[in-house]
Structures are given as structure tokens and as C-alpha cells.
Amino acid sequence: MREAGWSGRGLRSLQIPWLGLLLVGLLCAAALVRPLRPVLLTLLIAAYGLGRWRHLDTRPIAATLPVAAILAWGALPQPAAAADAAQCADLLAPPAVWRLIEAAVGLLAVGLLVVDRRASLAELGLRAGSRRNVLLSVVAVIVVTPVALLAGGLLGTTALGGSFFGTYRLDLSQPAALLPAAVFAVSNSVAEELAYRGAMRVWLGPSLGVLGANLAQAVVFGVAHSGPDFVGPVAPTAAAMLAAGFMAGVIARRSTSLLFVIAAHAAFDVPLFFYWACRVG
């Protein structure tokens, strides 16, 4: 008896809510404790292979694998922020290359699962959607990017910005930095949206329900953004990212597309590149 894609026909289904909840809990633990990340990824790969061999429904495991792969890559030491902003306009700036490789890791995980399960990227929301959705996505990039840059430059010296990265000032004087910033932002947004709002939200749906799956990916997303990379209070940062992740999941489901959330995410991430490569002080 062979498994026939994601429809569940021809397999012994494991529609057990606790399995999805257990995997979400393990992802949260790995997000908070870096040494656990490669261990969890290894265990998930082994469990997925065993489940496929036994013809079980491995959707809950597959749902968490891309996020686990991204977290495992993030366990490696990341490039430090440049004190003199010398990397600002360099297309091969370490922060941009780092995020590009991280995106490749996440996309590879999703791609292998899609091929193995005879699924489709459109099922996960990697599609343009309606004309309105495309238009709103373009507007989001054009409008949100300069606002986010301005806010990043101003908030870096305030308690709000400091709660994320500490006190700093952005060097916004080099327009050429927008190119590596775009590489950084698009890489980060595509990988995270496809992993969280795509694979995790969609493939956890059968076991946790639509609302439960969306809340689960948002919780893991929030916890993943409150680790050692953030120097301020954990609770406000995690709560803000949880809320953003949940709303992004709602938008992705209603639009049946990840395009808008990828565009908005990328626009908000542009200042992050300036933080890593164009930071002064």
C-alpha cells in the first residue's frame, strides 16, 4: 500500500492532535535553546523517514521540518554587526550572504518535501493570487520600505528599538546598500513565510485545525524571535512577533497566497540589513 500525496488516500492516518502539539513544543524549546536545534532536526528527519517507511501520515512532521531546518542553520554563529558600516554597500556583505544561504536551506527542505509528497508549492501559497493581491503587494513594498527604514533609523536610539537590538544608529547615507538589503530581506521573508505561513500552517491543519495550526506557527515564530539575538525584554518581542505571525497567517489563508505577506515582511526586514551591515555605534 503506497501513500498517494497529501490527500490521505492509501495511508494509515495519524490524526492525533497531541502529535502536532508535541512537535510545536519541541520547536519552541529548540528556538530557545540553540544546542537543541540540530538534534531536533536530526530526530525529525529520522521520524519522517520511519513514518514514510511504515506508510503513516507524516504531515505533522513534514509541517515542522522546514522551520527546524531554518532554526538549525540559525544555531551557527551569525556575522556580527559592522562597527564602521564598511559592509553597507557590499553585495556580498556577510549578513546578506548569510540570509541567502539560510533561505536556501529552508527552500531546499520545502522543495524536497513537496517532491516526495507529490504536493505543490501553490498548495502552500506560493502563487500570485488575485490582481488585487499583486497590486497590494507592490504597494506594500513601495510604501512600507521607506517607512520602515525611517522608523529603524529613529527607533534605534529609543527604548522601543532598543528592546530588539540595543541602542544603535543606522547609516542611511549609502543608497547602494539597498541592493544587498534587498537580497537579505527577500531571502529572509521568502524562507520564513514559506516555512511558517506555508508548510507549518497548511500541513498542521488536518491535526490541529485551521485556527490551531495558525496559532501554532505564530507561537513558534514569536518564540524564535526572542532568543539570544535580542537583548531587550523577551515578552514584548515575542508577543509582537506572535501577533504579526498570526495576522500574516490569516492574510495568507484568506488571499490563498503568500505574496502579500512576503512583500510586507521583506519591506520590514530591510532595516535589519542596515542594522547588521550599516550600524553605527
The DSSP line for 249-278 is: HHHHHHHT-SHHHHHHHHHHHHHHHHHHHS
CA within 13 Å, CB half, 19: 22
Pair 126, 194: CB distance under 8 Å = yes
Work out the end-to-end distance of the chain between its first and last CA atoms, rounded to an integer number of angstroms.
Answer: 62
Contact 275, 229 (CB under 8 A): no
Q: Is residue 280 classed as helix, strand or coil in its secondary structure?
A: strand
Residue with cell 526586514: 269
Q: How far is CA 6 from CA 16, 99, 123, 205, in A?
A: 16, 30, 10, 12
Higher pLDDT, 152 or 210: 210
Rounded-to-integer distance, Cα 107 and Cα 221, Å:
17
Alpha carbon distance 164, 241 (integer Å): 11
- How far is CA 146 from each of CA 91, 200, 220, 275, 280, rounded to the nearest angstrom? 20, 31, 29, 15, 19
pLDDT 10s digits, 48-100: 999 999 988 899 999 999 999 999 998 888 776 665 666 788 888 888 898 99
pLDDT score of 11 more than 50: no
Which is more confidently placed, 39 or 2?
A: 39
Tell me how far apart the alpha carbons of residues 57 and 117 are, in angstroms, rounded to a whole number.
11
Banded pLDDT at 4 (limits 50, 70, 90): very low
Asked if the model's pLDDT at residue 2 lies above 80, the reply is no
Task: Kindly state the cell numbers that stand for 230.
Answer: 535580542
Which cell numbers hold the place of 125? Answer: 501559497
pTM equals 0.88
The 10s digit of each residue's pLDDT in 162-198 is: 555 555 666 667 778 889 989 999 999 999 999 999 9
C-alpha cell at 266: 521583506
Q: C-alpha 119: how far from its chain's center?
A: 20
CA–CA separation, 51 and 58 (whole Å): 6
Residue-level pLDDT at 13: 42
pLDDT band at 247 (very low <50, low <70, confident <90, very high): very high
